[in-house]
Amino acid sequence: MKHQHIKELIHLSFLDELTDDERQVLEKHLQSCQDCQGEHAGLDRMHRLVAGQKNVEVTDELLWEARRELRVALRLEQMKRSKWSELLERINILSHPTVRYAFAAAAVLVIGIGLGYLMFVPSLPVSHFVDTASTEGVASQRGDTRVSNFRFVRQGPEKGEVEFSFEMVTPIRMKGNVNDNAVQRVLAQALLNDQNPGARLLMVSTLANQVESTRLPDVEIKAALIRAVRSDANVGVRQEALKALQKFPLDGEIKQAIIYVLRYETNPSMRIDAINYLEKPVLAAKTADQDILDALKEKMQSDENNYIRIRARNVYEEVKQQ
Separation between Cα atoms, residue 89 and residue 72, nearest integer Å: 25
* Closest separation in Å from C-beta 54 to another protein: 5
CA 22 → CA 11, 16, 39, distances in Å? 12, 11, 17
User: Which residues, other chains included, contact 221 with Cβ-Cβ below 8 Å and sequence gap of 6+?
Assistant: 184, 185, 187, 188, 207, 211
* Closest separation in Å from C-beta 70 to another protein: 5
* Closest separation in Å from C-beta 8 to another protein: 7
* Burial class of 59 by CB neighbour count within 10 A (0 to 12, 13 to 18, 19+): exposed
User: Which residues, other chains included, contact 131 with Cβ-Cβ below 8 Å and sequence gap of 6+?
Assistant: 140
Nearest to 250 by CA among 224, 285, 220, 221: 285
* Closest separation in Å from C-beta 44 to another protein: 11
* Interface ranges with another protein (CB under 8 A): 8, 11-12, 15-17, 42-43, 46-47, 49-58, 62-63, 65-67, 69-71, 73-74, 77-78
* Closest separation in Å from C-beta 1 to another protein: 16
Query: What is the length of the chain?
Result: 322
* Closest separation in Å from C-beta 83 to another protein: 16
Kindly write down the DSSP assignment for every residue of 154-182, as one continuous string: EE-SSTT-EEEEEEEE--EEEE--TTSHH
* Closest separation in Å from C-beta 122 to another protein: 59
Q: Which is nearer to another protein, 54 or 173 (CB)?
A: 54
Q: Which is nearer to another protein, 92 or 179 (CB)?
A: 92
Paired strand residues for 155: 162
Q: Which is nearer to another protein, 64 or 152 (CB)?
A: 64
User: Which residues, other chains included, contact 249 with Cβ-Cβ below 8 Å and sequence gap of 6+?
Assistant: 213, 216
Separation between Cα atoms, residue 226 and residue 244, nearest integer Å: 10
* Closest separation in Å from C-beta 109 to another protein: 39
- Helix, coil or strand: residue 147: strand
The CA-based dihedral angle spanning residues 39, 44, 47, 51, taken in that order and rounded to the nearest 10 degrees? 180
CA 182, 225, 230 angle in degrees (round to 5)?
A: 160
Phi, psi of 298 (to 5 degrees): -60, -40
